[in-house]
Structure 1
Amino acid sequence: MTSSLSRRAVLTTLAGVLGLGAAACTARGGASEGGAGSSEGAAGGGFPLTLTDCDAEVLIEAVPERVVLLDSAPVTTLDGLGVLDRVVARAGSFPEGYYDAELIGRLEQIPMLSEDIDTTGHLQISQEVVMAQGPDLVLGLPDGLTREGLRAGGAEVLMPRSYCGGLEERASVDMLFAEITTYGAVFDRAAEAEALVAALRERIDAVADLPHEARTAAVLYASAGGGPLYAYGAPSMATAQLDALGIENVFADTAQRVFESGTEPLLAADPDVVVVLHEGTVPEEQLLAEMLADSQLTSLRAVQEEAVLPLLFNFTEPASPLIVDGLERIGAWLTRREPA
């Protein structure tokens, strides 16, 4: 069994790193560098606020009042900060499995612009449809939309750091805390952001003590319809989750966040457990059946031992409070697998 001491040591180390990072962020008035990341001019909630989002400079003139949500991941961050009511429209997949009944009810009151998701999980929507909502902030940047085009219409864009590309460091939960800190600055809700981070830290610490036997894992994305199989490497939040559980991602030596993986590397790694991410567009049983239609995968030890966990995508990617929900689900599943 993986010792709770080793997992606690991982979290203690992370907490030290995060504490130093938070101090640096406060001094500069924003979050650490990256996606919805580094900022200047936010000390004391001051505006205008300049952010570095991926490789772009973003200028937030005032607290956003009309937000268009093109990604389901920020929902729980916005809710935790008390600003979900700023969202005037949304598009994409918002599976009910992410939210409690009360939050589902509030989401249903937000007009849906498009639910057109391709087989790889990408939203299909036109820039004209988005701009017709008169947003001052757009969260997410699907293919076909550009920062320049949205900015010309008066809207800035923020993206999760995980989606920026070019990440080289191993992911850790500090990426989650940095995202929340930045949103707190953008919406002038620094105190709420601090409280949300503190609550998430406690939950992560609790999961670190759950017992389990797993030593290694692979986190995969199964395309609907039996398409390509993707795996998640070192820069993915999947690695941060597994690290918190004291489990090694068998693809953690890969510098890509996500990459198309053939069956051979997976068979060679033969992980103890497999987590399969999906968008919730098809039943989990169907998704796994399509993925395992490749007869080679049935020889995986994890498949033979039924150590395969389907998990909605945002429970692992990108950095949002949902990854803590996902971490708890993975931890509980591993604990249930323990012999009596």
Structure 2
Amino acid sequence: MRAAHRPARLPLALSACVLAACGAPAGPTPATDDPLTLTNCGAEVTLDAPPERVILLESAPVSTLRALGALDSVVLRAGAFPPEYYDAGTNAAIRDIPSLGEELDASGHLQISREVIIGQQPDLVLGLPDGISRESLAAVGIDVLVHPTMCPEGGGTTTFDDVADHVTTYGRLFDRQAEAGELVASLRERVATVEREVAGGPERTAAVLYPTVGGGTVYAYGRASMAHPQLETAGLTNVYAGVGDRVFEVTLEDVIAKDPDVLVLLHTDGEPRAVRDAIVTLPGADALTAVREDDVLVQLFNFTEPPTPLSVDGLERIHTTVGHGS
């Protein structure tokens, strides 16, 4: 039997933010010893105590868990955890967590069976690979949390407030409210610093793309993605701001017609040069201003999505590499 979770009272502004993010009804802060209930992707997840046996099936939450001092709750992991995301201490901590497998498909999605996860008897799973349903794990008493942006129904318009919501939710989940408050304050100041530095800068346009290495579909990120507030905060106008979708297919001809001044190319775990070549070597790509001026940044996917502290790292990378701070 797990001990009862004792959530601390949050500052009013943060409490309202978290409730909105989790989809829980507004109301008073839960009383001491109440279980923590979150609504995640339309499903209720109730935990009696901070989880102590977590299986991590995605790389995005690592920076938050580490900053909150909760990474030691992760007992197993699966998938790719590119070292470029983290500092040396975090990478060492990840290496110390036993792996259930690192097999990815051609799209970078984790390949793991439901039976492998169930056999480890976790009290919480972070991330949900393709082919495994929340219901199939819930049926055997295993709770799952997915970042709201990655829910099937989507999370609507995304802003840097979603980063704060993510951190604050994890602070409640792992009983690290004080640490979460400090982290949120630091992240907000870093975003504000970029905003101050780009104020009054020249007008420039940008597109965030996810190319397929070796040929194939090119995806672009619209107004509902974290790429949009990143570009806006960096003083760049998203050429796909008029598209309400998070991500969608585009042709090179369409990108050329919009002719962004800057290109940000995302990938999951590929070779940066190959990712860059997947766009810049295409016939006609030399017509792009971003290619001619060499204003192309290749960065790992979690530096943009989903909204986590890594998105603030990604913002700073855009600002200093291809933005007004470059």
What's 2:23 paired with?
Answer: 38
What's 2:310 paired with?
Answer: 322
What's 2:128 paired with?
Answer: 141
Distance 2:126 2:76 in 1: 11
Distance 1:49 1:126 in 2: 28
Partner of 2:265, secondary structure, is strand
CA drift at 1:193: 1.0
CA drift at 1:214: 5.4
The question of whether the paired residues in 1 share the 8 Å contact of 2:265 and 2:275 is answered with no
Distance 1:205 1:163 in 2: 26
Choose 58-67 or 42-51, whichever is displaced more: 42-51
Identity fraction in percent: 47
CA drift at 1:243: 1.7
Residue 240 of structure 2 is aligned to residue 255 of structure 1: no
Choose 80-89 or 206-215, whichever is displaced more: 206-215
The question of whether the paired residues in 2 share the 8 Å contact of 1:237 and 1:316 is answered with yes
| Aligned with residue 52 of structure 1, among 11, 22, 39 | 39
The question of whether the paired residues in 2 share the 8 Å contact of 1:218 and 1:250 is answered with yes
Distance 1:306 1:186 in 2: 43
What's the TM-score once normalised by structure 2's chain length?
Answer: 0.89
Distance 1:98 1:31 in 2: 25
Distance 1:243 1:152 in 2: 43
| Aligned with residue 297 of structure 1, among 278, 282, 285 | 285
1:171-230 CA-to-partner distances (Å, cap 9, x unmatched) read 210111111111111111111111110011111111223356452110011223323111
What's the TM-score once normalised by structure 1's chain length?
Answer: 0.85
What's 2:207 paired with?
Answer: 218
Could you say what the CA RMSD is over the residues aligned between the two structures, in angstroms?
2.1
| Aligned with residue 64 of structure 1, among 42, 45, 51 | 51
Distance 1:296 1:253 in 2: 24
Distance 1:143 1:167 in 2: 16
Residue 201 of structure 2 is aligned to residue 198 of structure 1: no
Distance 2:325 2:91 in 1: 30
Amino acid at match of 1:247: L
Do the aligned partners of residues 161 and 168 (structure 1) sit closer, same or farther apart at CA in structure 2, a change above 3 Å counting?
A: closer
Partner of 1:240, secondary structure, is helix
The question of whether the paired residues in 2 share the 8 Å contact of 1:45 and 1:185 is answered with no
Partner of 1:256, secondary structure, is coil
What's 1:332 paired with?
Answer: 320
The question of whether the paired residues in 2 share the 8 Å contact of 1:88 and 1:133 is answered with no
Give unpaired runs (5+ residues) of structure 2.
Answer: 1-10
| Aligned with residue 82 of structure 2, among 82, 95, 99 | 95
What's 1:76 paired with?
Answer: 63
CA drift at 1:152: 2.3
Residue 141 of structure 2 is aligned to residue 154 of structure 1: yes
What's 2:8 paired with?
Answer: none
What's 1:126 paired with?
Answer: 113
Partner of 1:310, secondary structure, is strand
Distance 1:106 1:207 in 2: 30
The question of whether the paired residues in 1 share the 8 Å contact of 2:223 and 2:240 is answered with yes
Distance 1:219 1:163 in 2: 18
CA drift at 1:45: 6.3
Distance 1:33 1:185 in 2: 14
Distance 1:227 1:296 in 2: 16
The question of whether the paired residues in 1 share the 8 Å contact of 2:220 and 2:248 is answered with yes
Distance 2:289 2:172 in 1: 46
Distance 1:227 1:66 in 2: 40
What's 1:8 paired with?
Answer: none
Residue 298 of structure 2 is aligned to residue 313 of structure 1: no
Distance 1:168 1:131 in 2: 28
The question of whether the paired residues in 1 share the 8 Å contact of 2:203 and 2:237 is answered with no
Partner of 2:286, secondary structure, is helix
CA drift at 1:289: 1.5
Larger RCO, structures 1/2 (Cα 8 Å, 6+ apart): 1
Query: In the comparison of the two structures, how many residue pairs are matched?
Result: 312
Partner of 1:33, secondary structure, is helix
